[in-house]
Structure 1
């Protein structure tokens, strides 16, 4: 059974062993409508936008799914020594990412330094601003939405796949799923991941990129500087038990050297694997212990 809907500026695809019942499908639709309304940085009425307008000391009660996501995002921010940061909205605007894609050119302004502590304190569903900085959930928000729905579908489907713009969650009690990884330039399949349970996230610096004069900026920012990451890698795919982990791993891997990935990334995510593609098209796999041949 294959069904689709549009949310978070992506086509979300659902593949299950048995048809998704109409009542269940309606609940999934309603959930993604909630996500589009409340997790968007482009909607001034969303919970995210209202949080970003808080002054220090002010609080806002948010929905339970968002509160849980913020807690997880803050935990990754602190765990990864700020290589991953969900608080780069002001820096995205400064680099020209101030509207929804697609666009091809933008104007850059002087940016501020990213926060080195979480600007928000989450207690239950109450979020209080305690410092400067603004939330941009980005890929981890998309991944969280897919994870929540996957948990729901697993109760009634023994085999399933959810695909959301480069993010994939799979589960199966039998044969593994085959997940194709495509070249960001040609969109031709270049590798394959085989998973029975787990998730895959792919990020590249091609799709969401734009011109600022003669220079090209992209949406992958350093959590340390707030500037587009300068890297020889064009695309990185991560596989991990949870989609949250895979999403964060791709952001870290773009910023780190191989030594740093071994010393830090695989210490934090020991069950993760990476497939890195550089600007020459060469691909190399990495996991805890060093580089390896990519076997899917």
Structure 2
């Protein structure tokens, strides 16, 4: 039997895809990745009643002892908010719940469309600045808020898995958690770039292919994670200035970054900014590909061409869909 060149499974409510430069360690690397993602789910899920995040949200305004892993995850979200001046905001949990996103998306999408029974929660601009973090194992959610780590959580998990595999096995790795992709490896060894297929939907036939030799790549979109609630079509990407789904000037945004979190931070900010996204990305030299509502494509800051580099061997392609 031929040894597998990559692994695929489900975690965090989405798909995971993992490949390593050394096939001999692939199965062990997969077990390590599963353990890391299980720990992330146990501490950071907004949909598990036993998670540390749910406990902390339930006691907003007070310090709550939690796993240091959650402190790290929230710290990443706060840093994303700081870097984007609040365009990427982890304090949108109450708005998402009001819109009906209070369970795993597959559960939400199966529900009948019912009128909303409560008024929209009041927004607390820049409440993310009030988040308390104790690296030893405690957080304080701002009073009147609920944290949601959807804007950075999967990307951070991808970075976390990649770092764990490199540290344990000393090989190069590519991991995709729900399409949030991270490429990593020992700094003292080289490795041929990996191909990554970018699609707007998981079932799409056509794909844009880019080659990554390090860092992260992420796509955010408004067309896949959708549901109906209160007589309206909703999606998970909210504008923190309104608490409402972003307008849809762009339907998807893909970007590269030093890490997967950096890439995902840029794509989320781009969708929130709409027409102002291109200069924002350009000023930060973020290579990005934006798809407008009419399907037209705009690339920014030297987005790579849609072709394989000459002379590089084919490798298993990882999907990246919104």
Question: TM (normalized to structure 2)?
Answer: 0.81
**Cα distance in structure 2, aligned partners of 1:196 and 1:79:** 25
Compute the displacement of 1:157 (Å).
4.2
RMSD, aligned α-carbons: 2.3
Structure 1: stretches of 5+ with no match in the other structure: none
Partner of 1:239: 256
> 1:246-270: per-residue Cα shift (whole Å, max 9, x none)?
11111110121454542x4455xx3
Alignment size in residue pairs: 288
Partner of 1:226: 243
Partner of 1:112: 121
1:170 to 171, 174, 183: 183
| Counterparts of residues 33-182 of structure 1 (less than 5 Å) | 33-56=38-61, 58-102=62-106, 103=109, 105-107=112-114, 108=116, 109-115=118-124, 116-118=126-128, 119-124=130-135, 125-155=137-167, 156-171=169-184, 173-182=190-199
> 1:89-138: per-residue Cα shift (whole Å, max 9, x none)?
11011112122122155444431233222242112222124432111111
Partner of 2:210: 193
| Counterparts of residues 194-209 of structure 1 (less than 5 Å) | 194-209=211-226
Compute the displacement of 1:176 (Å).
1.2
Question: TM (normalized to structure 1)?
Answer: 0.88
- Give secondary structure in 2 for the equivalent of 1:210: strand
**Cα distance in structure 1, aligned partners of 2:303 and 2:77:** 32
Higher normalized contact order (CA 8 Å, seq sep 6+, divided by chain length): 2
